Structure formats: structure tokens, C-alpha cells
Amino acid sequence: MPFPFFGDDKSTIAQLLGTLPQVGRLEWIGLRPARRQAMEAVAEATVKTDAHLMGDHARPKPGGKRQVTLLQHEHLAAVAGYLGLSAPVDPGRLRRNLVVSGLNLLALKNRRIRIGEEVILAITGECHPCSRMEEELGPGGYNAMRGHGGLTAHIVQGGTIRVGDAVRLELPADTDATT
């Protein structure tokens, strides 16, 4: 009998990409009260459909692909290691809105996720570091962030999110979760 993922007619890369049974956790929420000001960590936030996080100074255009930014929690230690730091980098220094653990965020690119019970985000692309990382993290900050900048997302459905909320792949309505 062939290994279930290789040599089996029913197994394709698309099926492998669709296999993400893990449930992640929202570890941190950050808002920028004004341009170039420090991020403020909050326990919960209101997410406005096709707009932004309430309390964040950024006002992306409707239909925009970068209405919210996400960062992989596990990458905080990796970035710190590249900088020679002994403790993970504080997420506020990296200027992303949401920090998620337990899921490989890159596996969610071009997919939808649900955070908590209400909020649905469409992951639109990678959030590459900018030169501001040198200013924030010191020499080498930009290169330490390469490959660890996180993702951008469009807000499909708003609501309230809270630190500790589950983060999971949102299957299309016509998908049978048992297959």
C-alpha cells in the first residue's frame, strides 16, 4: 500500500496545502495610536469589516490588501537570535497588529482564517520588513526580519477579538470538513 501522500491518486499538493488541522492562538494585539508612535498592547480590539482595527491610526482603503498585519509568535525568538539577544523581541517593536502562535502563518497565504467567533480575515500576502527595522532593532534589524515579517490581511468580517482567541483555517462553505 503506497504512503498516503505519495503515489496515491487522491493525494495532490492542493490536498496537502488544504490540510491544516491545527488551531492557533492569538497571543498579542497591538494598536498604533499615531504615526511613528509606540504600539500599544491591548487585551481586545474591535475589528471593522473592510476597514481597520478600531483605535489604530492606519486607515487602509476599502478593499485594501493590508488592513491588518499578522506575525508568527514563534519568530520572535528567531529574530532575537539573529540579533544576538537572549530574550524574544517584544512584538510591539515589530509594528504588526496581531501575533499568532501554533500555526505556520505562511501556510495560510491566500486563505481565510477565523479569529475567535466573529472575525474572518483573508490572508493577502507577505509583510516584508522595512528600513524602520534598523531604527527599531539596531544594526542588522532589517536582515533579522527577512523571512519573518509576517503577513497582511483584508478584513472580510469584523467583530471583537481577544488575546487567547482561537485562530483557525476558515473552510469555504461548500467544503466538507471530514474529507
CA-to-CA separations, 4 to 11, 14, 16, 17, 179, in angstroms, rounded: 7, 14, 11, 14, 14
**For residue 53, what are the CA distances in angstroms to 98, 119, 120, 139, 141?**
10, 11, 13, 31, 26
The whole-number pLDDT of residue 23 equals 95
Distance of CA 45 to the CA centre of its chain: 15
Question: Which amino acid, one-letter code, is at 47?
Answer: V
Tens-binned pLDDT, residue by residue, of the chain (179 aa): 344 444 554 568 777 777 777 899 999 999 999 988 999 999 999 999 999 999 998 888 899 999 999 999 999 999 999 999 999 999 999 999 999 999 999 999 999 999 999 999 999 999 999 888 999 999 999 999 999 999 999 999 999 999 999 999 997 765 544 44
pLDDT at 16: 75
The pLDDT score that the predictor gives to residue 3 is 44
pLDDT of residue 179: 40
Chain Cα centroid distance, residue 47:
14
Instruction: From the options 3.30.1300.10, 2.40.33.20, 3.40.1400.10, 3.40.47.10, give the CATH code of 21-167.
Output: 2.40.33.20
Going from N- to C-terminal start, the domains of the chain cover: 21-167
Residue 69, C-beta contacts closer than 8 angstroms, at least 6 positions apart: 95, 96, 97, 98, 127, 150, 151, 152, 153
DSSP collapsed to 3 states, the chain: CCCCCCCCCCCCHHHHHCCCCCCEEEEEEEECCCCCCCCEEECEEEECCCCCECCCCCCCCCCCCCCEEEEECCHHHHHHHHCCCCCCCCHHHHCCCEEEECCCHHHHCCCEEEECCCEEEEEEEECCCCCHHHHHHCCCHHHHHCCCCCEEEEEEECEEEECCCEEEECCCCCCCCCC
- In the prediction, which pLDDT does 51 show? 94
The set of cell numbers assigned to 50 is: 473592510
In this prediction the pTM is: 0.86
